[in-house]
Amino acid sequence: MSSAAETSASALPRAAKQPRTRRKTGTYAAADERRRRILETAIAHFARKGYHNASMQKIATDVGISHTGLMHHFGSKSELLRAVLEAREAQAFEQFYYRLDLDAPDPVELFQLIAEQTRFNVTQPGLMQMFALLAAEAGVDDHPAHAYFQQRYERVTAIIAKAIARGAETGVLHPNVDGLAVAREMLAVADGLQIQWSLSDGAFDFLTAHLGYLDALCRRLTVAGTGLPA
């Protein structure tokens, strides 16, 4: 879950749809590989230039296909952006959050999964840079990712608040904790740290700072005063 930073807290996704199974013929496999290369290249371009300054022609050139070929897979730049965001969210769910019970999320488990995703995200600097930039751009109403990030913040905030409430009910967390306030704090910290990382050209140790925050948060909220599980 974390800001478009989409790392940590704001990266907490919705339950991913189960993909339809189909036989991978040579044609399908080649198309899937090309689509994967397009998405990876688009991430790099969106990370460097943002959405508005990214060029579909240059993305196509870097992939090694024509502009027409790119448009065959993605009919518009906004459609490509949406595919990039949805693919990243599905990956996060499949790697981490499939273990979380979204109906009754355990707060300590949630914090641990956020920490695991943070460790993974720092190995993907292009994704971190992209989400940091897109999140800032998406504050404008007419940005094609505006609704996506708006809905994501609402969804992630609700999941964190629900986890905090469940922790208080089960006696794991201190009673009367304002789950909504904690959720917004977590998102603000994750996003703020990621922006600092982005502006430092990676020199700022985002991983240590964010894991340290999550550990301190666990110690503050848990009745037992314990930090993140090892």
- Beta-carbon-side half-sphere exposure of residue 109 (alpha carbons within 13 Å): 15
How far lies 97's CA from each of 138, 153, 217, in Å?
25, 16, 20
pLDDT tens for the chain, residues 1 to 230: 444 344 455 555 555 444 444 555 566 777 889 999 999 999 899 988 888 899 999 999 999 999 999 999 999 999 999 999 988 888 888 999 999 998 999 999 999 999 999 999 999 888 888 888 888 889 999 999 999 999 999 999 999 999 999 999 999 999 999 999 999 999 999 999 999 998 998 899 999 999 999 999 999 999 999 999 87
**Residue 140 DSSP SS3:** coil
Apex CA 47: angle with CA 42 and CA 48, to 5°?
A: 105
pLDDT number for residue 133: 86
pTM for this one?
0.80
Set out the domains of the chain in order of their start, with CATH numbers.
9-221 (1.10.357.10)
How far lies 76's CA from each of 7, 9, 56, 144, in Å?
26, 29, 8, 11
**Residue 222 DSSP SS3:** strand
How far the first Cα of the chain sits from its last, in Å, is 20
pLDDT number for residue 224: 96
Compute φ and ψ for 35, nearest 5 degrees: -60, -40
pLDDT number for residue 25: 57
